[in-house]
Amino acid sequence: MTLPREPLKIGDAGYDMSAAPPDAWRLFDPEAPDPGYFEFDWISARHPDLYHRFALTTEGLTAELQRLVDFRGLDVIDVGAGTGRSAIGLASSASHVLAVDAYASVIEFGKRMVHAANVTNVTYSRADRSQLPVPDSSVDAVVCCWAELDRAEAARVLKPNGWLIHMGGHPDEPGELQPLLDEQFPQMASAAMRDDATLPDRAPVDLEFLGEKEWPDVRLADGVLRARDFTYTADYGSPEEAAAIFGRIFGPKIGDYFTDRNQATNWSRLRIYYGRVAT
């Protein structure tokens, strides 16, 4: 048995934060927003409706994942499940999805989204990633989308040859907004290449890595960690809505990008890591 790591203290550091009324995020002080720009955890806790509108890339990742892994009949844990987009998507083929999150307001919002989608095989549980609320070797897949993952704890709860999956942004290639974000927030800029104008049109790329190098805290069944890189374009319905969403999360100058171009879409380069865990 692998002992779980020291758990987060749920109830501290804002995990019990109450959600603001719907659409309250549309009115804020651009010079001193609360929560601040880029503070995704606190934004999602205070304004889960905003985060749900923003997180369309989660649907793209979940749809692409189901082209790689057959979830039919599987019991799945969705770690850092947030407002429910990934759990609802996985539930279309999985037997059951246990959606785990630490934020009370996010869980309540996610439950409403699951109910609104008429999905009956998703259950929410409040827990942290380092103390998942299931026994050893009890689930077929652990999925984590746009959240931190405790891989050793995930391996504990997986059955032999179970799927361990971590999804989010590409670690090196930019999304459409990255050059502008680097300009506005140079202290947060990464070393990723920014000048390849062909990125939005790139086809999916399949990669393989040595599991012990990339994921040294778990043992993969065949020693291979696989990945898929692909481009996803999210449509926010109107330039005004895209500007409102991105302006609140990243600042008004980022919002202006969409109104200046009369553009409602945003493309991102994404990556899915996936592999089977030996024990």
Q: Which H/E stretch holds residue 166? A: strand 158-169
Distance CA 100, CA 87 (A): 10
Query: Is the CB of residue 277 less than 8 Å from the CB of residue 155?
Result: yes
> Which pLDDT value is given to residue 13?
56
List all residues 6 or more positions away from 73 whose beta carbon is below 8 Å from its beta carbon: 94, 95
Average pLDDT, the chain: 91
Distance CA 124, CA 114 (A): 10
List all residues 6 or more positions away from 195 whose beta carbon is below 8 Å from its beta carbon: none
Structure confidence at residue 184 as a pLDDT band (50, 70, 90): confident
| In this structure, CATH architecture of domain 39-172+205-239+267-277 | 3-Layer(aba) Sandwich (3.40)
State the pTM of this model: 0.92
Per-residue model confidence as pLDDT tens digits over 106-150: 999 999 999 999 999 999 999 999 999 999 999 999 999 999 999
Distance CA 95, CA 122 (A): 9
Per-residue model confidence as pLDDT tens digits over 217-241: 999 999 999 999 999 999 999 999 9
Tell me the mean pLDDT in the region 158-183.
Answer: 92
Distance CA 207, CA 167 (A): 14
Q: Could you tell me the residue ranges of all domains in the chain?
A: 39-172+205-239+267-277
Distance CA 239, CA 261 (A): 8
> Which pLDDT value is given to residue 174?
78
